[in-house]
Amino acid sequence: MTDLLVVAGARPNFMKAAPVLEAAGRAGLSSALVHTGQHYDAALSDVFFAELGLPEPDAHLGVGSGSHAEQTARIMTAFEPELRLFDPAVVVVVGDVNSTLACSLVAAKERYPIAHVEAGLRCHDFFMAEEINRRLCDHLSTYLFTTSRDARDNLVSEGIADERIEFVGNTMIDTLLRSADAARARGAAERLGVSAPYALLTLHRPENVDDKRILTGLLEAAEEISAEIPIVFPLHPRTDARIDAFGLRGRIDRSRIQVQPSLGYLDFLGLLADSAFVLTDSGGVQEEATVLGIPCVTLRESTERPVTVEQGTNVVAGTRREDVLAVAQVALHREGGPGQIPELWDGRAGERIAARLAEEIFALEGTATANA
């Protein structure tokens, strides 16, 4: 029997899971890692194991891409026998991707306790796939570990018992703080031919890149911004395909937008740390920019991480070209406040999670021994 069965499947999951796996061993817990293969490209998966010091997965489901229904179904059917094989005390899921929900559904129906790392985040956009995933996962989970205090309010308002919720901080920030020096030492900007000052751009969310009108407006805004400051654009495979499908490659080619392939974690973190500001639709980048003190222009209509707006460097600009341009001007000229690091984003979230789960598991084992 394994104490913790930790599930990861997509790029952000690895940074969030690594501190839990590391802290579990120090807390005396055995653990196993299941990689669902939701992200299967080497630049979005394999490189993170090497850079984060993650162990090789104990199981790799290899599900690949597909529609939400196809991918979720494949993860569920592949995960079920692995769950029975490892027979864990607790299944640990992170984030809000399809892997998170699929494995939570299987674990709940097999009556295994679930611990959700990064619980309670809400953007209140019911059409966003991640919002559906995170809501359902939270209601299936026994232990809900939150990154900010507002998450508890979200969960309690949905009827989740307060005793199931614990504010522990942000495991993604654990990884950032541990990796920042190594990321800067790699000299990614120089190696990639990027000269400061520059802005950084990331786009990957389906609601942005699958809609030709929205993607066109965002690229138009980026083209105009690049007239004032070069933009470095690590191109997600999905976004790359949509740009070609919509005939938008010319907007990049005639601008000062420097396209790069998908980058590993350390190279991306190094570029972010040295950027003038970042334009992004990524939730994780909003958090990372806040801790690094980098102005962040979020290319979405809402955010599930309001703490990065209230305390950090983040401004939610929306997706309209003129709004993005206006907020980018503020970021470019550093007119916003410096922000502060949110409470408990101190590099010890993984320790708090492992300590709580160890307490629960050892208590159950003691009860079982006493009753034997």
Q: Is 236 a catalytic residue?
A: no
Residues 6 or more apart whose CB falls under 8 angstroms from that of 286 comprise 280, 296, 298, 303, 305, 308, 312, 314
Structural contact between residues 302 and 296, judged by C-beta atoms closer than 8 angstroms = no
Which among 35, 39, 204, 236 is annotated as catalytic? 204
Per-residue pLDDT, 351: 98
Per-residue pLDDT, 234: 96
Q: Would you write out the chain's pLDDT as a tens digit for each of its 372 residues?
A: 899 999 998 888 999 999 999 999 999 999 999 999 876 555 556 777 788 888 889 999 988 888 999 999 999 999 999 999 999 999 999 999 999 999 999 999 999 999 999 999 999 998 899 999 999 999 999 999 999 999 999 999 999 999 999 999 999 999 999 999 999 999 999 999 999 999 999 999 999 999 999 999 999 999 999 999 999 999 998 999 999 999 999 989 989 999 999 899 999 999 999 999 999 999 999 999 999 999 999 999 999 999 999 999 999 999 999 999 999 999 999 877 788 999 999 999 999 999 999 999 999 877 766 666
- The 3 state secondary structure assigned to the chain is CCCEEEEECCHHHHHHHHHHHHHHHHCCCCEEEEECCCCCCHHHCHHHHHHHCCCCCCEECCCCCCCHHHHHHHHHHHHHHHHHHHCCCEEEEECCCHHHHHHHHHHHHCCCCEEEEEECCCCCCCCCHHHHHHHHHHHHCCEEEECCHHHHHHHHHCCCCHHHEEECCCHHHHHHHHHHHHHHHCCHHHHCCCCCCCEEEECCCHHHHCCHHHHHHHHHHHHHHCCCCCEEEECCHHHHHHHHHCCCHHHHHCCCEEEECCCCHHHHHHHHHCCCEEEECCHHHHHHHHHHCCCEEECCCCCCCCHHHHCCCEEECCCCHHHHHHHHHHHHCCCCCCCCCCCCCCCCHHHHHHHHHHHHHHHHHHHHHHHC
Per-residue pLDDT, 41: 58
Here the tokens at position 13 are 């999951």
Q: Which domains does the chain have, with CATH numbers?
A: 4-170+345-371 (3.40.50.2000), 181-332 (3.40.50.2000)
Per-residue pLDDT, 45: 61
**CA-CA distance, 231 to 187, in Å (whole number)?**
17
Per-residue pLDDT, 266: 95
Per-residue pLDDT, 54: 87
Which of 144, 171, 170 is CA-nearest to residue 155? 144
Query: Residue 31's beta-bridge partner residues?
Result: 4
